[in-house]
Amino acid sequence: MAVRNAAAQPGTYPLIIFSHSSGRWNRRSATFLCTHLSSHGYVVAALDHSEVVALELLRRDDETEEQKAARAQACIASRVPDVRFLLDHLLSGAAWDSEITLDSTRIGIVGHSFGSWAALATTAVERRIRAVVALAPGGSSQPKPGIVAAKLTFTWGRDVPTLYLVAENDIMTPLAGMYELFNRTPATKHMVILRRADHLHFTDNVEEEHETARTMPWAGELAWIPEEMRPIAELCSEETAHVFARGLTVCHLDAVLKRQAEAQRFLLSDLATELAVRDVDAIVHKP
């Protein structure tokens, strides 16, 4: 859904890294959000993580349980270095052939699912990150069967304002785990829960992707997924989910990285009422 080779306005801009979820997802899994951020004056770098491009990390039909476990651990181990490598590359100036300058003091990271785990984990070791948006993050202490079992230390040592955007009916990263991660986050934080939404409401083509996941056969430890997913007709629309994710993500980053007073006031307002005016049914979780 993005525009290839679009002309950029010369200037100095904040940088946002986008980290995608696991499985068949890649850097183009949330163009609805990345292009929106770009249109609001952010340079957005969405990367393909190592498991998408490295042959040794690709799934194989004939792999043993031991090989599968080893590959999963290798994927976990590659995530944070992937982000740090990209940051170094972008900030070195080697990636640019334009009049754009990146502001190294205004860097945020946004992720979905395993990508949100990567965002939270990277923040523990990468002090250049100043803001986080975690969309339905992984990393809880009790993941569902077959869901990536990656841990988080939250040893940030500084205040990195963090916004959690999560789904009420998320079967892959349930609300109990979202509350746990939110409570452990040692920073200024907000969490907003989208009503009647599931895990894939934070991707492009929500209806198609949700129904594909609900009707496809899942093997082994993931066989429970289609049984627990509700039909998309019982959940909120893509339009509602995208308004929710786009608006609140931009607001949080504007409030933190651009220090916009209007965005800061909005985050402290009656968000549930403000979202309802926009036909978005949500719950604001208070610390």
With contact defined as beta carbons under 8 Å apart, do 248 and 192 qualify?
yes
Please state the pTM of the whole predicted model.
0.95
- Model pLDDT, residue 95: 64
Second CATH level (architecture) for the domain 12-285: 3-Layer(aba) Sandwich (3.40)
Query: Is residue 124 classed exposed, middle or buried when 0-12, 13-18 and 19+ CB atoms within 10 A define those classes?
Result: middle
Task: Note the helical H segments in 128-233.
Answer: 175-184, 206-215, 225-228
- Model pLDDT, residue 7: 79
Please list the ranges in the chain whose pLDDT falls under 70.
1, 94-97
- Model pLDDT, residue 96: 66
Enumerate the domain spans of the chain.
12-285
Q: What is the DSSP string of 27-83?
A: TTTTHHHHHHHHHTT-EEEEE--HHHH-GGGS--TT--HHHHHHHHHHHHHHHHHHH
